């Protein structure tokens, strides 16, 4: 079991990002939305590389939500192809940079080829001890809690879990994020102040930063500034200052 609360207020150990604004970024340039997603994918690498210096050990990014299937078939197919190519292309680089890759979300809803690449990336980087990069793909917070509850109920039915023992510590063990600490800081780009079903359970005590920058323009400098800003805050987890 990992530690879920930071020991001090020095900086966020786990930063989660809702990468929003690719479509608008492309539209502003008179280009198709997928052009924005490709530009956004380039930013991912730069932000991952900025983590060690910023002191961020865990980075979780929202790449595709369970609601994103409602987009046009062209955009969905383009995004799936981008994810396949991205994982295939970046895998070796992640190993070299000691980045451990994990995926969260509902995998059976994704195509076989993409799932195989996800498994391969997880396996290939499983020994890496640097930044922990978690990519949320076909992820929805409510869907995750529903799937976790289903597994929990199955364990009760199988006699492996006593229903009277279920408390706040039990459900997180069934969530996709069970090996990760809770996020300390959640950033959303593009000026929208919504959490859009991202890490609902895990972000109960997270700080939020909503910035106007569209994701393809989100720079490592802005990331470092937001991370640094967090250091100046005091989190009490519902308690009072000692």
Q: Is 140 in the site for ligand FPP (CB under 6 A)?
A: no
Distance CA 221, CA 54 (A): 10
Site string for ligand FPP, 65-104 (x = CB under 6 A): ---x-------------xx--x------------------
Q: Specify the residue, 22 or 202, whose C-beta has the smaller distance to ligand FPP.
A: 22
Q: Is 37 in the site for ligand FPP (CB under 6 A)?
A: yes
Helix (H, G, I), strand (E, B) or coil at 137: strand
Distance CA 136, CA 166 (A): 27
For ligand FPP (CB under 6 A), the number of binding residues is 20
**Two structure tokens written together for 140:** 């929805």
Q: Tell which one of 135, 186, 187, 206 touches ligand FPP (CB under 6 A).
A: 135
**Two structure tokens written together for 178:** 């069970």
Q: Specify the residue, 63 or 199, whose C-beta has the smaller distance to ligand FPP.
A: 63
Q: Is 134 in the site for ligand FPP (CB under 6 A)?
A: no
How many CB atoms sit inside 10 A of residue 145's CB? Answer: 15
Helix (H, G, I), strand (E, B) or coil at 61: strand
Distance CA 171, CA 120 (A): 28
**Two structure tokens written together for 112:** 């076989």
Q: Specify the residue, 16 or 63, whose C-beta has the smaller distance to ligand FPP.
A: 63
Provide the annotated active-site residues: 20, 68
Distance CA 177, CA 95 (A): 21
Q: Which residue is nearest to ligand FPP (CB)?
A: 23
Which residues contribute to the site for ligand FPP (CB under 6 A)?
19-24, 33, 37, 40-41, 44, 61, 63, 68, 82-83, 86, 135, 190, 215
């Amino acid at each position: 079991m990992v530690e879920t609360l930071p020991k001090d207020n020095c900086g966020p150990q786990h930063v989660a990002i809702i990468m929003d604004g690719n479509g608008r970024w492309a539209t502003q340039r008179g280009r198709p939305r997928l052009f924005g997603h490709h530009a956004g994918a380039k930013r991912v690498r730069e932000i991952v590389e900025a983590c060690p210096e910023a002191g961020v050990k865990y980075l979780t990014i929202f790449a595709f939500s369970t609601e994103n299937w409602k987009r046009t078939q062209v955009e969905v197919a383009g995004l799936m192809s981008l994810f396949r190519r991205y994982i295939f292309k970046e895998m070796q680089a992640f190993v070299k940079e000691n980045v451990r890759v994990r995926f969260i979300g509902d995998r059976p809803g994704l195509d076989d080829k993409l799932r195989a690449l996800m498994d391969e990336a997880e396996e290939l980087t499983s020994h890496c001890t640097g930044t922990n990069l978690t990519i949320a793909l076909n992820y929805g917070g409510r869907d995750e809690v529903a799937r976790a509850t289903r597994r929990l109920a199955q364990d009760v039915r199988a006699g492996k879990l006593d229903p009277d023992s279920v408390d706040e510590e039990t459900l997180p063990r069934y969530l996709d994020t069970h090996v990760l600490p809770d996020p300390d800081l959640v950033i959303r780009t593009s000026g929208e102040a919504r959490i859009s079903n991202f890490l609902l359970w895990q972000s109960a005590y997270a700080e939020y930063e909503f910035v106007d920058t569209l994701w393809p323009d989100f720079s490592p400098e802005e990331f470092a500034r937001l991370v640094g800003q967090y250091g100046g805050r005091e989190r009490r987890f519902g308690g009072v200052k000692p």
